[in-house]
Structure 1
Amino acid sequence: MRAPTGIAAFGLEGKSALVTGSSQGIGRALVEGLAAAGASVVVHGRDAGKAARAAAEVADATGSQARSVTFDVTDPAAVDAGIAALEAEVGVLDVLVNNAGIQRRAPIGEFSDEDWDVLMATNVSSAFYLARRVSRGMVERGSGKIIQIGSVQSQLARPSIAPYSATKGAIVMLTKGLCADLAPHGIQANAIAPGYFATELTQALVADEDFSDWVRQRTPAARWGDTRDLVGALVFLASSASDFVNGQTLFVDGGMTAVV
């Protein structure tokens, strides 16, 4: 069967997608964008009530089926159990979006072991655990899309966030490694690297006029990103339109990484 071409190649009808950390912020925009493109989506979050409410709102807004799940993405046993339960309901996922992530800030000499460990667990280990578990079914089926959410900080460093930058650099290389292992099985693994986006988690930075001025001056587009700016790149990487794109990191940053 030939893959669809033209605008039809971007459709996600009949596809199932899980977005981790999607009850708010960037994840919420991503899961709603996939649903609007026709996918049956799964909202994931740490708060079961919040995730369920988000799923209901996504379903109402898009008309697509949406359900919610709650499991600890930093616990490999919980990931295995959570995905097994989900597969029992919806089958092997067509699309996995590893979005869950956190930030911790401190000068490197003052950065605590605890903050380092939680950053690595949430930003890197979780992506490995999810990709490892979900890819098993994808390999058996012979198709699938794994999309990691990275950051411009995988390429650009700033004071006080060296460990965070390290985690996002790891995501870039994990994505390339997934390509090496999974491409022969018909699976595409790619990453999206957002620039500076206005979300619930960045409200304090957006409200800081000096920092916002720096963002606008440093970004050729001269503005903060809106979470909806990420949806087009996500739908492309989740759809058959990207079937020959693998191991790549797509920067959605208003041009920040293109200029000095």
Structure 2
Amino acid sequence: MSGQSLSGRTALVTGSTSGIGRATAVKLAELGAHVIVMGRDAERGEQAVADIRAGGGRADFVQGALGDARSARDVARRASTAAGGHIDILVNNAGIVALGPTPGFPEETFDAVFGVNLKAPFYLVGELAPAMAERGRGAIVNVTTMAAQLGIADAAVYGASKAAFDLLTKSWAAEFGPSGVRVNAVSPGTTRTPGAEILGDGLDKLAAQSPLGYVARPEEVATAIAYLASDDASYITGAVLNVDGGRTAV
């Protein structure tokens, strides 16, 4: 980025106690934003806040588990309070990766995936975007996945939930753009995070299929998220930025 500062802005990053979310929280804080770290694990959340503060940034932690409208509204309320009254940047990063064949896929797992990956961010945006629109400025960045664009065996449910998220990104861009709120998405490829550990050696095998051929670090994805949240991307909305080593290009 060309030195854009996020000083004076507040940011809520869901699922930010580890992985891409944590790296994003750190990056936004480095750019000057007051970051609200949010996640289920209090110990990891407080450690993330402590690390950001040790680096000279400003952060607070809100504990919560997203999964439905009620939890989303609760997180929105508490995060806004912790941020001093409003949220300027929302990064919808919290998600569930659940893999398995279609026959016999547990209904409770299906519902949990769509609850966390789609329903919760839908209602979180419903709570926070109107206030952004009233102020005439805001940025929302959704974290999706290359599995939303590719047919991957055993990833039907996960990919479908994120493909719907891609469409929500475009729908929200149309809905809130006239009020000055930009909505974009980042679509990561293979990234070395705790959530990707379920793939085992498969992570490296997937990465080998991309032109760049390696597994990304969370910080590489966080940089793209921060770009879309910043004024450097002031004329970008409704876009899905692939950060996948070129995997969806071939």
Q: Tell me the TM-score range normalised by the shorter chain.
A: over 0.9
Give 2:77's match in structure 1, choosing from 75, 78, 84: 84
Question: Match of 1:67?
Answer: 60
Aligned partner (choices 9, 12, 28) of residue 6 of structure 2: 12
Tell me if 1:240 matches 2:240: no
Q: Give the letter for the 2:113 counterpart.
A: L
Q: Distance in 2 between matches of 1:86 and 1:243?
A: 25
- 1:206-260 CA-to-partner distances (Å, cap 9, x unmatched) read 5x2xx3552243011110111111122112111111111011100000111111x
- 3-state SS in 2 of match to 1:156: coil
Give TM-score scaled by structure 1 length.
0.91
Larger % of helix: which? Answer: 1
Give SS of 1:171's match: helix
What is the correspondence of 1:1-260 to structure 2 with a 5 Å cutoff?
7-8=2-3, 10-61=4-55, 63-89=56-82, 90-206=84-200, 208=201, 211-259=202-250
Instruction: Render the CA deviation track for 1:156-193: whole Å, top value 9, x for unaligned.
Output: 12111101110010110000110111000000000000
Runs of 4+ off more than 4 Å = none
Q: CA deviation at 1:75?
A: 3.2
How many Å separate the matches in 2 of 1:190 and 1:20?
A: 16
- Shift, 1:204, TM fit: 4.7
Point out the structure with max Rg over C-alpha.
Answer: 1
* 1:72-112 superposed Cα distances (whole Å, 9 cap, x missing partner): 32232232233223323422111000000011111101211
Distance 1:203 1:112, change over 3 A: closer
Q: Distance in 2 between matches of 1:180 and 1:161?
A: 29
Q: Measure the CA separation in 2 of the matches of 1:82 and 1:248.
A: 26
Task: Kindly provide the amino acid, as one letter, of the partner of residue 221 in structure 1.
Answer: L
Counterpart contact for 1:71–1:79, Cα < 8 Å = no
Between 230-239 and 243-252, report the one with greater CA deviation. Answer: 230-239
How many aligned positions are there?
249
Give the share of equivalent positions with the same residue, in percent.
35
Question: TM-score, normalising length from structure 2?
Answer: 0.94
Tell me how far apart the structure 1 counterparts of residues 50 and 204 of structure 2 sit (CA, whole Å). Answer: 37
Q: 1 CA distance for matches of 2:68 and 2:204?
A: 39
List gaps (5 residues or longer) in structure 1.
1-5
The answer to whether the 8 A contact 1:73-1:129 is kept is no
Paired AA for residue 81 in structure 2: A
SS class of match (1:26):
helix
